[in-house]
Amino acid sequence: MRKEEVKNISATPLNAPVFPATDMYFKDREFLNIVYETDMEMLKEIVPEPLTVTSNLIKFEVINMPDSTGLGSYMEAGHVIPVEYNGEAGEFYLSMYVNNQAAIASGREVAAFPKKAGTPNLYVDNDVLVGTLDYNSLRVAQATMGYKYYRMDDEEAKSIITTPQFMLKQMRHYDGSLLMSELTRSQITDVKVKKAYRGPARLQLFEHVMAPLADFPVKKVVDAQHIIVDMRLGQPSQMYNYLNDNN
């Protein structure tokens, strides 16, 4: 392989890159969002400055992506925290547990999504929508929501899906020193809402050292949303550089 060709490879291995160089478009992307009250002090301890936590209403989400360009069919689940940066409201993505290696690698290397391996699931059980997350052999989260109880306004659903996403991107040199440490911002675009519902819901979280979702205890479930859309991931951009003292 010629030197000039190497730079055109999306990732390693050279003869079978872990993810393709393609525009990530998602059809029928399905969200189960459980919004609940938790401990405000726990949120403040984990969210990095200069982001500011704006509420104790955290979101546990399970997402089914059955038709993703270049990535196939997979699922993910994790925690999202309401924050603000320079007057703009958004969500800090704390954790994402994913059952697709290409999505984990591309999400971490190209963007800044905090992805690691896990086994989420989202399915309809008779009259209930069920979202679960297992870490290896153990259950760490289980959510249930009444199926298609109340119709949700499409514009409200779109505004939820397109909330700005703030993430921490951290990369290190071979010697362990920091190569990159920055906050990024991205935003979902080209959203077409297909279905949107609310319903009663419950959420259980189980203690686990490597998937510590239960660090944010469920005090009260205040909202549950089931939203299906077509959409495109937005291009991430740097907001704040921790290695630059002149921020």
Q: Which residues are annotated as catalytic?
A: 115
With CA atoms as reference, report the closest residue to 21 among 39, 32, 7.
Answer: 7
